[in-house]
Structure 1
Amino acid sequence: MPPAREEMFRRSALPSVPKYQRSDMAESVLTQGAMRFNRFDVLAEQLIEHEGQRVTRGELSAASVGILKNRLDAHVLPYFKYIPPSQVTPMMLDAFVKRLTDSKLSSTTVSQYLVVVRKLLKLAIRHGFLREIPELPSVKVANRPRSMLSLKEYASVVRMAHRLSRWGAKAPEVKSSAGHRERFWVQTRHLHLPPDMAWAIRFMVNSFVRPGDIRQLKHKHVQVVRGSSVYLRMNLPQIKRHDAPMVTLRPAVNVYEALLKKAQADGYGQPDDYVFLPAESDRTYALAVLGFWFKWVMREAGVASADALGRDRTLYCLRHTSIMFRLLYGQGIDMLTLARNARTSVQMIERFYASALDGEMNVAMLQSRRSQKG
């Protein structure tokens, strides 16, 4: 719907709201000069304040409040600008979903926007502007697992990363650091691939970490454990309300020790130094460089930047690969243990990881037979 028609629709819809939708309390409040509070921007400020209190109590992450603000500014407040909360109708909510759909947002994102609107309408009920929440549109959320690498693709990418670092190859066709920095740009020293990329790929696939963990991982967060099993114990900063320690597979130990040796040779490796690209204080840039290198390595290795279903392969696909490899090749893997160690839930494993499994991926297990007792 064009913006002009959208605004006309919203304005024309205001008088048609049936009076019974308001509560008796709403009628009295509105006649007592509280009309200035019957606005979505005022309710949005209150919602942000309430969510901020939840952050203080440890119920919510600070990043969630940032996402909430972005969604309010991007679509919620621009759409509901001329609609008092007391006059919201199901038709208006349908038109809001159409706006989001026309903006090419996924069903998951649309559903998350409706959660924000629902919270605002609940505040409107508390203020007496509404008796009940109008019927919200039904949006079916389609699970879209991230892409992963096969064993062959993973081996190819690691080999190519090592090869490019030994050759001193230079990245082709990249933005320079000159001029106005509107988008991500690559500094000259990062146009040649160091061994860090191969280490980052192997580390992520053997440790279940997210790219965000790589960005903030410091040596003080890592402990090498040598006993009946050899692994790294990582006490990472809290992410997505998960703060439990994580343990890695044994290959991650070799990667970390190689990283530490190189860091110490370069004058880093102290507890408060970062494990990956320690010279970069701008950690957002450091993670972007790793993402740029990963795409470069995949291209040189002949690995498609998207899988057969059109899903992009970014650094995050290495976490998906890590979890999928355990589901496919781990002997007697316990789903709860895997989920907790990966700092996620069993439900998320089933929705976004195990849902991508098919019989052919583990045909040998399907065709296996129990050994007969003698």
Structure 2
Amino acid sequence: MTEIDYYDIVREKLNVEPLRVPKHEKTIELLKVLWDEDVIKVLSYFPAIGKGGTSVKELIEKSGLEKNFIRTALKKAVDKKTIVKEGRAYGLAPLLPGIFEAYFIARQDTEENLNKAAKIFRYIFKHFPEFKPNFINPDFGLFRPLLPIGKDQKNLIEINEAVNSETQVLTYELVEDLINNNNEFAVIPCQCRYVGELSGEPCEVASADMGCFCAGRSAIAMVDAGIGRRLNKEEAIEYLKKTEKAGLVHCSSNSKGGEHLMFICNCCGCHCGALNPVKQGYKTVVPSNYTPVVDEKTCVQCKVCVKKCPMETISFNEEENKVIINLDYCIGCGVCATNCAKNAIKMNKTKNEIPPEKNKVGGKVFMRHLSDLLI
């Protein structure tokens, strides 16, 4: 009789376009860290992501397992924030992003398991192309950068005359919009840099404590759940400026709806699970409508922009004694411009691509998946 591979059954159910969980020794190793044999057996009777939830009664009927066995297994998974519980219904959530963030925010597993999971995720981020099919559709834009708050728009942004004359700087293009439209703010640790720290490969740009930024009702929920650190408006502005000076990118959902007003990741180019794939040929982060332009007359060749660029697209040509920006790989984040002391770099609006109204995976926006797991 063939032994049932419960881990592979659940792995298949975690696939929800454009996100996938490839069949690979590392992903199976990861699932075994997240869920022991009792838990995975119960989860194998769950509906796939996007197909609704299930109850204890339904699980008993489908599996034939004892009620106490099922309840104990479900409690383990809920406590570790690796499945969703809404009332009496339970459900699966995407692995990455989704379970990844919730699991490491909650930190309710053993130290041994947290370290094991961290090393596996770190491996995944560094070797995206090795996993077939990929963890995400290579052409799917999950995030987009928001321009920094650190300088006045007149010192940072220019509108290219070639762009439609009616084009203006739009609210969904600026991180400032989060500040202007909300009064409640919170910070939660960066899970990408946290797994680096657990893996013995800490980020040299910023610590995990300089993490993600929530606004509005998502900030209130994170603080009430004991997950986020509350900030007032003045503290929020100073916090965002601090992340920009460190060289972090404000990555928001690739949408123009309310999502971008609720949550942003402050991403480094070395550990980020969204920016790293871009360096490996994926389109997980959609470039902004802006491209940096260097004023050679104003530039003093300090090379700060070369050091700060998270995508490593800026270099200094010693022969020509000038800064060179490779626009083929630039995401238009504005980190170079906001860190230029001489205002020698402007962010020039060269296009007017409009993101979708909402960016959903499995019928939900990312912040909904995360809040379902955590709260």
Indicate the structure with greater helix content: 1
Higher relative contact order (CA 8 A, sep 6+): 2
* TM-score normalised over the length of structure 2: 0.20
**Structure having the higher Rg:** 1
Indicate the structure with greater strand content: 2
